[in-house]
A and B are shown apart, each in its own frame.
Chain A
């Protein structure tokens, strides 16, 4: 009898059909299969094997969920920053077009310390911080365009992440239902398989036998 070479000494584990990957699934996340007939399923595949693989699947889903939640939170913090930058650029532009383009401001140096500043606002340009120690000068229009694009992208990312999270939540809930039902089925089968002719059993077993259908 040949052993599977890649698995060393262990024969390859039978894969219980608990999930399937469909093409349209976001990020290739597998669909969990709802076990409709638990009795048949547990009898066919065995309680231990099913629970082991189902729990593994569950852990993978939960792990993926926490990753996506983290990504979404990062995206969500970007949105107000972009909106504030847009606000400032729009304000500066409006001021430049008015009769008094000068802007007097108080800006934050550090916590609770503000400094007065005067913005002559003659250039019609702003510098945008792009990250990685890079700042680039843009005209008001260019800056607004860039910021609006970034905002749209960030919001689209958030929507897409929410969609993935909803899909994942469905798989997680269905897996939880599977786990509960398989567990209950196992309890039920164990009770049904208890030896019936045991006269020295506990009172509980005795009562159960009396409630049973056959002698």
Chain B
């Protein structure tokens, strides 16, 4: 048992810390993406509903915390603008997430190469 398989340098610890941080970011991004995608789905459903129901001259649109009565055209316009904003946000989140995933893969390769099975870098709820 003379071999010390846990020989670790400062650089290794820095890599482990970086991995920990990246993993934290990954979770945060995944959670935010899930919420925003749900919101996007709701907005798209709302747009559909608007198109289908052309009764009456007023639609109640949520501004801040109250509903404001607007014409269907105004409502469609506002919805479109907001939908686009959320879509852009989702796109940016997705590109951030893919960058993080790439960095994680590279780090994993490096750490597994050095420590093989004395280190465990898997997450329980990895999809």
Contacts and interface: CB of A to CB of B under 8 A. Distances in A.
B121 to A, nearest CB: 13
B1 to A, nearest CB: 7
Given A84-B65, A88-B66, A106-B66, A36 B16 contact: no
Contacts of B67: 105-107, 114
Interface stretch (A6-14, A21-29, A49-57, A170-178): A170-178
A117 to B, nearest CB: 8
Interface of A is mostly: helix
A68 interface: no
A45 to B, nearest CB: 18
Contact of B64 (A38, A85, A106, A173): A85
Interface in A9-48: 34, 36, 38
Contact of B1 (A87, A166, A191): A191
Contact of A166 (B2, B21, B64, B66): B21
B69 interface: yes
Interface of A: 34, 36, 38, 84-85, 87-88, 91, 103-108, 114, 117, 166, 169-170, 173-174, 177, 181, 184, 188, 191, 211, 213
Contact of A174 (B1, B17, B63, B68): B17
Given A91-B63, A105-B68, A174 B2 contact: no
12 contacts: A34-B10, A88-B64, A91-B63, A104-B68, A105-B68, A106-B66, A106-B69, A114-B67, A169-B20, A170-B17, A173-B17, A191-B1
Nearest to A39: B4
